[in-house]
């Protein structure tokens, strides 16, 4: 990278703040977890299945971790299986039980606010002949228990309901839901990914038959999940191969990740003890945001017992979330619009729609999720950035949606398309027609070549980097700058017809000036 390229990076870091408020997407690895993982990585490389001493020591590490994971949710260690992630855990239960019961029983009932790892798996199972029904939820996303019970029939074999929602933080009464299901001889899977470490979990007391977990939401490593299978519940493996995990999940164990998950679970009590402080900061945040915009709408339940302590979903009427999130990102604050797995889809959140928000309101909603590293100073900083943005004290970057980007704009002489995609994306996909390609981290030596009398439309793969560059251009005195929301990825999905017809036409690679 040439020295001038650092100019843009320097511009970005000048705010010198980094405030991470997206803990429901993932969490930083805790010191205790990091220490445990490094120790395992440096000293224990034996295969846990090997019969000699090194292998046996590795196997002990796996069993120790299994005990810590089981303790964190009040399960027996022999009811815990390690998986690659919670997505795998959810897939494994849904597919295994479908194979077990179909065609004798065909129906699964779930909630419309589940994570994509459940919803998309259910959609797949429907293509295989299963019947999936979604139960009614109220404006807060709570399952309507009486309605749910009416939906259960002779065909139903599984009820799938998350313990806590990743977007709004709504907590379900899993014990009551399980009681209803069991009365009708129906099994229960609960996705407990967001609940672990935020609220107390007791799988035995709740009575669930299956529950899924993920280490990276709990200050543990990415790429390791767990599945609780109540003793005696039907289950067949998703992966076939070796005899690992008691024959239920083949593949050599990811020892350092498993050890890291165990260490993260050892810290669960500490996390639960911090919940009060986190909840108080969330209340402070809500109060400050309400002062900025008294008409804002809180989508998360306000009663403590009904919402995760760290999660806030908030709608600012008339304020597009893409613009606000772009400004927050520019000022070093990470928040999100919904599930990280839906990023780039440019679709309003299915969770927000299920609790009654319009498409527009969903596009005016952000999710802020606090964590153990969050401080009151962070909260003040974030509200300051939101205030500046909403009260119009920050430069205005115009937003173009993928649906709006039509032939008129693409071929408009007064629009200059600036393509800032990284090289690997350019190798995979052609860009917009008439685009001017510059390196993602271009510097001042390109600025002289950009027209000051045209609107500059900045395009990147997902709409995030282009936002940063849009603000950079505004700071450099360019008057009319627009950003393509959701980036080229969203436009390709939304306007496949135009992409097929025009992609890559008349694109120019700009050379750096002196």
User: Do 392 and 292 form a contact (C-beta atoms < 8 A)?
Assistant: no
* 119 is a contact residue toward ligand PLP (CB under 6 A): no
Closest contact distance (angstroms) between CB of 411 and ligand PLP is 40
Alpha-carbon separation of residue 284 from 312, 315, 372, 382 (angstroms): 12, 17, 16, 12
Distance CA(107)–CA(116), nearest Å, equals 19
Closest contact distance (angstroms) between CB of 170 and ligand PLP is 11
Alpha-carbon separation of residue 134 from 121, 122, 131, 273, 354 (angstroms): 14, 10, 10, 35, 10
Distance CA(209)–CA(249), nearest Å, equals 18
Structure tokens, 79: 């009811």
Pick the binder of ligand PLP from 191, 209, 378, 425 (CB under 6 A). 191
Taking contact as CB under 6 A, which single stretch among the options 53-61, 148-156, 247-255, 338-346 is the one that binds ligand PLP? 338-346
Pick the binder of ligand PLP from 214, 415, 470, 490 (CB under 6 A). 214
Taking contact as CB under 6 A, which single stretch among the options 245-253, 310-318, 333-341, 406-414 is the one that binds ligand PLP? 333-341
* 96 is a contact residue toward ligand PLP (CB under 6 A): no
* Total residues at interface with ligand PLP (CB under 6 A): 15
CA 258 centroid distance within chain: 22
Pick the binder of ligand PLP from 5, 11, 66, 115 (CB under 6 A). 115
Looking at residue 244, what DSSP letter applies?
T
Pick the binder of ligand PLP from 21, 72, 148, 162 (CB under 6 A). 162
Taking contact as CB under 6 A, which single stretch among the options 30-38, 153-161, 189-197, 342-350 is the one that binds ligand PLP? 189-197
Structure tokens, 233: 């519940």
Q: Which is nearer to ligand PLP, 194 or 434 (CB)?
A: 194
Nearest to 79 by CA among 231, 244, 214: 231
Pick the binder of ligand PLP from 110, 117, 321, 470 (CB under 6 A). 117
Closest contact distance (angstroms) between CB of 508 and ligand PLP is 40
Q: Which is nearer to ligand PLP, 191 or 209 (CB)?
A: 191
Distance CA(94)–CA(27), nearest Å, equals 27
Closest contact distance (angstroms) between CB of 153 and ligand PLP is 27
Pick the binder of ligand PLP from 27, 98, 110, 166 (CB under 6 A). 166
Structure tokens, 173: 């009464």
Residues 6+ apart with CB under 8 A from 393: 387
- 415 bridge partner residues: 455
Nearest to 82 by CA among 69, 95, 100: 69
Closest contact distance (angstroms) between CB of 109 and ligand PLP is 18
Q: Show the beta-strand stretches assigned E in 441-512.
A: 455-459, 481-484, 508-509
Residues 6+ apart with CB under 8 A from 470: 326, 397, 456, 458, 481, 482, 483
Letters for 72-91 (x = contact with ligand PLP by CB under 6 A, - = none) are -------------xxx----
Closest contact distance (angstroms) between CB of 182 and ligand PLP is 23
CA 67 centroid distance within chain: 28
Taking contact as CB under 6 A, which single stretch among the options 147-155, 335-343, 353-361, 487-495 is the one that binds ligand PLP? 335-343
* 321 is a contact residue toward ligand PLP (CB under 6 A): no
Closest contact distance (angstroms) between CB of 454 and ligand PLP is 41
Distance CA(507)–CA(514), nearest Å, equals 22
Q: Which is nearer to ligand PLP, 117 or 244 (CB)?
A: 117
Nearest to 164 by CA among 300, 26, 281: 300
Residue 341 annotated in active site: yes
* 193 is a contact residue toward ligand PLP (CB under 6 A): yes
Q: Which is nearer to ligand PLP, 166 or 490 (CB)?
A: 166
Q: Which is nearer to ligand PLP, 87 or 266 (CB)?
A: 87
CA 3 centroid distance within chain: 35
Closest contact distance (angstroms) between CB of 249 and ligand PLP is 14
User: Do 225 and 83 form a contact (C-beta atoms < 8 A)?
Assistant: yes
Q: Which is nearer to ligand PLP, 88 or 378 (CB)?
A: 88
User: Do 482 and 455 form a contact (C-beta atoms < 8 A)?
Assistant: yes
Q: Which is nearer to ligand PLP, 194 or 440 (CB)?
A: 194
Q: Which is nearer to ligand PLP, 369 or 466 (CB)?
A: 369
Pick the binder of ligand PLP from 225, 323, 439, 486 (CB under 6 A). 225
The full DSSP string for 164-197 is: B-TTT-BBP-HHHHHHHHHHTT-EEEEE-TTTBT
* 194 is a contact residue toward ligand PLP (CB under 6 A): yes
Residues 6+ apart with CB under 8 A from 443: 2, 3, 4, 5, 6, 7, 8, 512
Residues that bind ligand PLP (CB under 6 A): 85-87, 115, 117, 162, 166, 191, 193-194, 214, 225, 339-341
Catalytic machinery residues: 341
């Amino acid at each position: 990278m040439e020295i001038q390229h650092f100019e843009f990076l320097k511009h970005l870091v000048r705010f010198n703040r980094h405030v991470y408020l997206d803990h429901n997407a993932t969490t930083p690895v805790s010191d205790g977890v990091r220490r445990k993982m490094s120790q395992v990585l440096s000293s224990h490389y034996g295969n846990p299945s090997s019969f000699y001493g090194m292998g046996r020591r590795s196997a002990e590490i796996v069993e120790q971790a299994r005990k810590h994971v089981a303790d964190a949710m009040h399960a027996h260690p022999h009811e815990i299986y390690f998986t690659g992630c919670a997505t795998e855990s959810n897939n494994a239960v849904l597919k295994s039980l479908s194979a077990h019961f179909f065609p004798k029983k065909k129906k699964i009932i779930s909630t419309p606010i589940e994570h994509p790892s459940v919803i998309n798996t259910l959609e797949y199972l429907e293509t295989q002949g299963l019947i999936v029904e979604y139960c009614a939820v109220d404006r807060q996303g709570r399952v309507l228990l009486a309605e749910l019970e009416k939906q259960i029939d002779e065909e139903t074999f599984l009820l799938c309901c998350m313990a806590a929602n990743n977007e709004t933080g709504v907590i379900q009464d899993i014990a009551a839901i399980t009681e209803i299901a069991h009365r009708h001889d129906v099994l229960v899977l609960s996705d407990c990914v967001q609940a672990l470490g935020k609220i107390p979990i007791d799988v035995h007391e709740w009575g669930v038959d299956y529950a899924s977990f993920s280490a990276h939401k709990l200050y543990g490593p990415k790429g390791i999940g767990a599945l609780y299978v109540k003793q005696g519940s039907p289950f067949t493996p998703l992966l076939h191969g070796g005899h690992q995990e008691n024959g239920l999940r083949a593949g050599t164990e990811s020892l350092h990740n498993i050890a890291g998950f165990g260490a993260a679970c050892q810290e669960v009590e500490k996390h639960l003890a911090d919940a009060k402080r986190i909840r108080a900061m969330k209340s402070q945040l809500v109060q400050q945001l309400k002062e900025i915009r008294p008409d804002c709408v809180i989508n998360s339940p306000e009663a403590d017992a009904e919402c995760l302590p760290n999660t806030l979903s908030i709608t600012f009427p008339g304020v597009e979330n893409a613009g606000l999130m772009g400004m927050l990102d520019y000022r070093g604050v990470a928040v999100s619009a919904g599930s990280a797995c839906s990023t780039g889809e440019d679709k309003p959140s299915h969770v927000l729609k299920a609790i009654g928000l319009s498409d527009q309101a969903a596009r005016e909603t952000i999710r802020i999720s606090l964590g153990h590293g969050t401080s009151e100073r962070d909260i003040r900083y974030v509200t300051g950035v939101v205030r500046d943005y909403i009260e119009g004290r920050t430069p205005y970057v115009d937003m173009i949606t993928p649906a709006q980007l039509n032939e008129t704009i693409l071929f408009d002489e007064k629009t200059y398309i600036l393509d800032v995609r990284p090289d690997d994306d350019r190798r995979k996909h052609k860009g917009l027609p008439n685009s001017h390609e510059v390196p993602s981290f271009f510097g001042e030596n390109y600025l002289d070549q950009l027209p000051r009398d045209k609107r500059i439309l900045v395009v990147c793969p997902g709409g995030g980097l282009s936002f940063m560059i849009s603000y950079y251009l505004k700071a450099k005195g360019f008057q009319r700058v627009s950003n393509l929301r959701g980036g080229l990825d969203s436009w390709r999905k939304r306007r496949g017809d135009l992409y097929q017809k025009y992609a890559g036409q008349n694109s120019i690679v700009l050379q750096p000036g002196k």
